[in-house]
Copies of this chain bind each other. A is one copy, B any other.
Amino acid sequence: MMKSGPAEGGQLTQDDPRDHKANWGISISDLVMRAFAALGTLTSAVVMGTTDQTLQNVGQFFLFRRARYNDLPTFTFFLTTNAIVCCYLTLSLGLSISQVIRIIRSTVKITRIILVILDTVMLALFMAGASAATAIVYLAHKGNAKANWLPICQQYNSFCERISGSLVGSYFATIALVILITLSTIAISRC
């Protein structure tokens, strides 16, 4: 990697066209992954938030006949984390775009550091919501004979299908967040 001179307070110093192209590639990838992750969280939140099933014919064994996401607090937590992370990703798209078009060239490095820290916090928060919901979905499907928790998905199959689908978007967004942190770290090392 060629450098033209001493590094100065946060400014890009690479004048080599290959370096310039590589940095631009990283910025574009960051933008695309961020938009992809925002879309994943939005889809998950919408699918979870609109999940509603009312049973027509049901025995007396199950106490609820209408199943909504907020019947289980974990799903409410999942929806909240999705909403927070979706808002953050949408707002951070602005910073990502500014890096692509380099309108705030002098603050590229500090912007990336802030993005890595916030991305990491969001990854932790998001993973908490997604895996807590997965644990409950797993329980809803399989139940647990030892604890006498019966599976509810036999009755609420449409409800279970939708909440399971909602998790898929979340895991894509998780992978996108890990890639985002990796890209930003590489970008910082090249500043």
Contact = CB atoms under 8 A, between A and B. Distances in A.
Interface of A: 1, 3-9, 13, 61-64, 67, 71-74, 109, 113, 116-117, 120-121, 123-124, 127-136, 138-140, 144-150, 152, 174, 177-178, 181-182, 184-186, 188-189, 191
Copies of this protein in the complex: 2
B138 A147 contact: no
Q: Which of A67, A136, A184 has the most CB of B within 10 A?
A: A136
A146 B72 CA distance: 8
Main secondary structure of the interface of A (DSSP, over half): helix
A125 B148 CA distance: 28
A139 to B, nearest CB: 7
Contacts of A116: 116, 181-182, 185
Contact of A9 (B1, B120, B140, B186): B1
A102 B146 CA distance: 53
A9 to B, nearest CB: 7
B64 A174 contact: no
Contacts of A63: 145-148
